[in-house]
Amino acid sequence: MNTACSRRDFIKTAAVGVTATGMTARSYARIMGANERIRIAQIGCGGRGRLAHMTGVHKHDKAENVEFVAVSDPWRIAREEAAAMCKEWYGTDVKQFVSYRDVLACKDVDAVMIASPDHHHALQLEAAAQAKKHVYVEKPMARNMKELLRAVDAVKEAGIVVQVGTQTRSLPTSTGCRELWKSGLLGKVSRIEQCRNGEKPYWYGYVKAHLPKSAVVRKEDVAWDEFLMNAPKRPFDAGVYVGWYGYLDYSDGPVANLGCHFVDLNHYITGAQFPVSCVCNGGIFTWKDENKFTCPDHVEALWVYPEGFMMVYSSNFGNGSGSRHRFFCEKGQLNLDNWGAPTYTPEGGPKRDGKIRGVNEVQPIETPDHFLDWLQCMRSGKTTRAPIEAGYQHSVACLMAVESYNTGRRTTYDAVARAIRRA
């Protein structure tokens, strides 16, 4: 990376603290120059990696001067499909690796995108930070507080640019909702709730979907230990490999995987950060079959926030009706049932004052999409739309729910100790 004199002079003045823009000297040194090509590696080449990450960045690669130069995945078919996409886009052969460790050892990789199974995220994020690579990381960021803290602290130490994959923050309507909230028009909120239901759990769709060219997963094509990583050892199982979302060894189920979008968006809109307490219950009530999935198909979590409101997330995967996302406030209601077209009304507000009449559309505020925001922040040094701090906040809330579900106990959060307690 080129370092002009002006940059060295800046670092000298900023070395002992934080600049007016909020950047440390370490983070400033990680900014990509305006003319430097950002070389990206994709870690995890499943449906999310290929069809969201890679495709999402590709539409910006010429304008933002970025290029994929490496891919990694335990499954040969997936990484070869990802490499073929790059060949079509750039006309060159990218590096292919089984392990993310080999990606992070590449000196010609500036940034990585992590779309691996949930139980890989925290370890790969921590390792990427230690390797001084910028990161786009899918949620959930971690599956326990120990690995969460290690990853967050590594990111802070490295001064890298991180975007967490809670992309609903980057919808123009989400920023519109945030500005509406800040106006005070709705008054104080008492309850925020989302029911995200379905006729089947989402992991059934992954058993056959997202496989490139309808490929069959064969043992000889999968680096099984690389997939298992720190999960319990077990013999190769193709069904487990493609359906890992449904097994507690690799994922924590609906609250951590879908509910985190709800929690994070609510934090973004309201400015709330951490719950005071949480209770969560659920179980497998509908889908008991030969797959022997272990994640709950019905779950409900309830958090209490110090600002004085309750937040509730539930999933019923035994019936697809009744989905909703509402903010119940003293002067009306914010309705996000349709994320693309939220509305607000005076409905139900005990202190409605006539300032809200009828059904009103939330005015969108244009923002860069989630991938573009990350790319631009790698050059500007500005804070991403979903920075590591936001990821930590929604991760804590989700881990409180996971701990409550697993133990049957109410949980609390100790912000000073950065610890989840059982009440």
The residues spanned by each domain of the chain are 5-167+372-386, 170-365+396-422
Residue appearing with tokens 């539409």: 59
| Mean of the per-residue pLDDT values of the chain | 92
Cα dihedral value 405, 46, 95, 65, nearest 10: -90
Mean pLDDT value of segment 381-395: 98
* Check whether domain 5-167+372-386 has CATH 3.40.50.720, yes or no: yes
Quick check: 236 pLDDT over 90?
Answer: yes
Is-contact 36 65, C-beta < 8 A? Answer: yes
Mean pLDDT value of segment 198-225: 82
Pairing of strands 419-422, 298-305: unpaired
Is-contact 24 159, C-beta < 8 A? Answer: yes
> The whole model's pTM is what?
0.91
Residue appearing with tokens 């990350």: 374
Query: What pLDDT score was predicted for residue 180?
Result: 98
Pairing of strands 309-316, 343-345: unpaired
Mean pLDDT value of segment 371-387: 97
- Whether the link from the prior residue into 140 is cis, omega within 30° of 0, is yes
Enter the tokens of residue 245.
């979302």
Enter the tokens of residue 315.
């999933």
Confidence of residue 211 (pLDDT cuts 50, 70, 90): low
Q: What percent of the chain has pLDDT above 90?
A: 88
Closest CA to 46 of 206, 203, 237, 251: 206
Closest CA to 281 of 260, 262, 302: 302
Residue appearing with tokens 């004052």: 353
pLDDT digits (tens, 9 = 90+) for 138-195: 999 999 999 999 999 999 999 999 999 999 999 999 999 999 999 999 999 999 999 9
Mean pLDDT value of segment 264-279: 98
CA distance 78 to 222: 10
Query: What pLDDT score was predicted for residue 185?
Result: 98
Which CATH code for domain 170-365+396-422? Answer: 3.30.360.10
Note whether 5-167+372-386 and 170-365+396-422 share their fold. no
Quick check: 376 pLDDT over 60?
Answer: yes
CA distance 68 to 85: 10
Quick check: 252 pLDDT over 70?
Answer: yes
Give the distance, in angstroms, between the CA of residue 290 and the centroid of all CA atoms in the same chain. 30
Q: Order of strands, edge to edge, in the sheet holding 343-345? A: 360-361, 343-345, 332-335, 324-329, 189-195, 309-316, 298-305, 277-283, 411-414, 419-422
Mean pLDDT value of segment 240-269: 97
CA distance 367 to 370: 9
Q: State residue 30 phi and psi, 5-degree precision.
A: -90, -5
Query: What pLDDT score was predicted for residue 22?
Result: 43
Instruction: Check the CA dihedral 113-205-261-344 and report its sign.
Output: positive
Confidence of residue 18 (pLDDT cuts 50, 70, 90): very low
Confidence of residue 212 (pLDDT cuts 50, 70, 90): low
Q: What percent of the chain has pLDDT above 70?
A: 91
Query: What pLDDT score was predicted for residue 1?
Result: 35
Quick check: 54 pLDDT over 90?
Answer: yes
DSSP state of 51: I
| DSSP alpha helix (H) spans, 292-387 | 370-380
